């Protein structure tokens, strides 16, 4: 292995990055073959980032190295007590070839909030942003250029200390890996059916629902399988009082007949950056956004009276997806009209337009990665 640039200047965070090039990096032809149809989360770029943290030394030894298996002690705390968090964002290629990402500071801040809840150390924003730039510096060619494709970036952090006692770990690792992603809806965006889970909850009051942590996903897999058995692609969770929370990995927004957008307020949901951005674009259009508790009964009655005309889900991977049908054990809500889906899709187009550099970025959301 060759070590490139072992003496780079310290970054804003005061760290000196080391890059070890992958001697088995894919050839241009192999990479292009993958990028022609990468799917989602199946292929990974040639390199990864990792940064160590210890109670004594703080954040140290930031490096880019060949992508590959990690060695972990079988007693590593994450494997037993799930002290783990992650993030998800994308790198986009613009028509002029440049590479950008969307609101990474918001992901960095959310990762700090997740870290706090899960008793992990907070990664400074500067290291988070550096990690993305460093990976793109070696793997920029992995950002695909076809319509609506992207390089999905997955930062994550876990307790690696080998110790079976129950307390927060004194040794932690931060990693960043990247995976090219096909357009989510190659044939155009299709409405999804969702299953209302009343038997299972995703999170509880005071729990970890607002943290982006693996355990929330583990607990959603069984209800997700139930949803699939009923022909639904996603699950909607409620709180104990019958208020909407969110889907397994996406936030939810209801649309009224007069064009208001209603989205659940809750301290046990994960506050999506996509939702925040879509709602900002809606406010820019003069639409009213209501961020408040909203119950399943309000949705049900509103759909019956014609007051609520549709709903959509939003998150980084799929961006925005209209909800065609909500199926529950003893009732169903069907949204057939076009108005809400058209609004959802037009907000989606505007957001992806900004992300791919086709629409003016009037909020200063885009950050260039390759310059
Ligand atoms: C990541 C995530 C979202 C969506 O967040 P974005 O920042 O929009 O990608 C919504 N809900 C859950 C549970 C999530 O983990």
From the CA of 316, how far away is ligand 1's center (Å)?
7
From the CA of 141, how far away is ligand 1's center (Å)?
27
From the CA of 317, how far away is ligand 1's center (Å)?
9
The count of other CB atoms within 10 Å of the CB of residue 298 is 17
Interior CA angle at 185 toward 252 and 352, to 5°? 70
What is the pLDDT, as a whole number, of residue 49?
98
- Pick from 5-9, 95-99, 231-235: least confident: 5-9
The string of pLDDT tens digits covering residues 123-166 is 999 999 999 999 999 999 999 999 999 999 999 999 999 999 99
Residue 289 has pLDDT above 80, yes or no: yes
The count of other CB atoms within 10 Å of the CB of residue 10 is 9
Asked if 45 and 142 touch (Cβ cutoff 8 Å), the reply is yes
Residue 9 has pLDDT above 70, yes or no: no
Give the residue-averaged pLDDT of 268-293: 98
Choice from 154, 197, 270, 365 to test ligand 1 binding pocket (greatest atom count within 8 A of CB): 270
From the CA of 220, how far away is ligand 1's center (Å)?
14
Residue 1 has pLDDT above 50, yes or no: no
Give the chain's mean pLDDT. 95
C-alpha 247/C-alpha 64 separation (Å) is 34
CA 80 from centre of chain: 24
Asked if 262 and 244 touch (Cβ cutoff 8 Å), the reply is no
How is residue 313 written in tokens? 């889900």
Ligand 1 atom with the shortest distance to the CA of 106 = 7
If you take atom 10 of ligand 1, which residue's CA is the nearest one?
250
What is the pLDDT, as a whole number, of residue 187?
78
What is the pLDDT, as a whole number, of residue 175?
98
Contacts of 342 (CB under 8 A, 6+ apart): none
Choice from 252, 272, 276, 355 to test ligand 1 binding pocket (greatest atom count within 8 A of CB): 272
Q: Mind spelling out the 3-state secondary structure of the chain?
A: CCEECCCCCCCCCCCCCEEECCCCCCCHHHHHHHHHCCCCCCCCCCEEEEEEEECCCEEEEEEEEECCCCCCCCCECHHHHCCEEECCEEEEECCCCCEEEECHHHHHHHHHHHHHHCCCCCCCHHHHHHHHHHHHHHHHHHCCCCCCCEEEEEEEEEECCECCCCCCCCEEEEEEEEEEECCCCCCCCCCEEEEEECCCCCCCCCCCCCCCCHHHHHHHHHHHHHHHHCCCCEEEEECCCCEEEEECCCEEEEEECCCCEEEECCCCCCCCHHHHHHHHHHHHCCCCEEEECCEHHHHHHHHHHCCEEEEEEEECCCEEEEEEEEECCCCEEECCCCHHHHHHHHHHHHHHHHHCCCCCCCCCCEEECCC
C-alpha 148/C-alpha 59 separation (Å) is 35
Task: Identify the structural domains of the chain with CATH numbers, from first to last.
Answer: 2-183 (3.30.470.10), 192-355 (3.20.10.10)
What is the pLDDT, as a whole number, of residue 13?
64
Residue 3 has pLDDT above 90, yes or no: no
Q: Which of 220, 241, 223, 341 is nearest to 294 (CA)?
A: 241
Residue 73 has pLDDT above 60, yes or no: yes
């Amino acid at each position: 292995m060759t070590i490139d640039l072992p003496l780079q200047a310290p970054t804003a965070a005061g760290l000196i990055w080391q890059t070890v090039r992958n001697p088995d990096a894919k050839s241009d032809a192999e990479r292009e073959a993958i990028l022609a149809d990468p799917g989602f989360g199946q292929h990974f770029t040639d390199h990864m980032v990792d940064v160590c943290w210890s109670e004594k030394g703080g954040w140290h030894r930031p490096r880019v190295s060949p992508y590959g298996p990690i060695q972990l002690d079988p007693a590593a705390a994450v494997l037993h007590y799930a002290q783990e968090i992650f993030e998800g964002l994308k790198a986009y290629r613009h028509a002029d070839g440049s590479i950008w990402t969307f609101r990474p500071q918001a992901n960095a801040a959310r990762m700090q909030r997740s870290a706090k809840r899960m008793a992990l150390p907070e990664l400074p924003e500067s290291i988070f942003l550096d990690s993305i730039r460093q990976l793109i510096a070696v793997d920029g060619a992995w950002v695909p250029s076809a319509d609506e494709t992207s390089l999905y970036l997955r930062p994550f952090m876990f307790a690696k200390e080998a110790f079976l006692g129950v307390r927060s770990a004194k040794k932690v690792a931060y990693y960043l890996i990247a995976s090219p992603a096909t357009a989510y809806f190659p044939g155009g965006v299709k409405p999804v059916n969702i299953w209302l889970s009343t038997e299972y909850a995703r999170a509880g009051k005071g729990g970890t629902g607002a943290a982006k942590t693996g355990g929330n996903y583990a607990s959603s897999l069984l209800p997700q399988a139930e949803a699939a058995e009923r022909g639904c692609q996603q699950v909607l969770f409620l709180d104990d009082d019958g208020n909407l929370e969110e889907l397994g990995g996406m936030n939810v927004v209801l649309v009224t007949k007069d064009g208001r957008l209603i989205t659940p307020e809750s301290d046990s949901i994960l506050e999506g950056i996509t939702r925040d951005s879509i709602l900002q674009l809606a406010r820019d259009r003069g639409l009213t956004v209501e961020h408040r508790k909203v119950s399943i009964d309000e949705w049900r009655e509103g759909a019956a009276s014609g007051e609520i005309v549709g709903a959509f889900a939003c998150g980084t991977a799929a961006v925005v997806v209209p909800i065609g049908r909500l199926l529950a054990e003893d009732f169903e809500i069907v949204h057939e009209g076009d108005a809400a889906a058209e609004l959802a899709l037009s907000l989606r187009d505007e957001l992806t337009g900004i992300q791919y550099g086709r629409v003016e970025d009037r909020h200063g959301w885009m950050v260039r990665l390759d310059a």
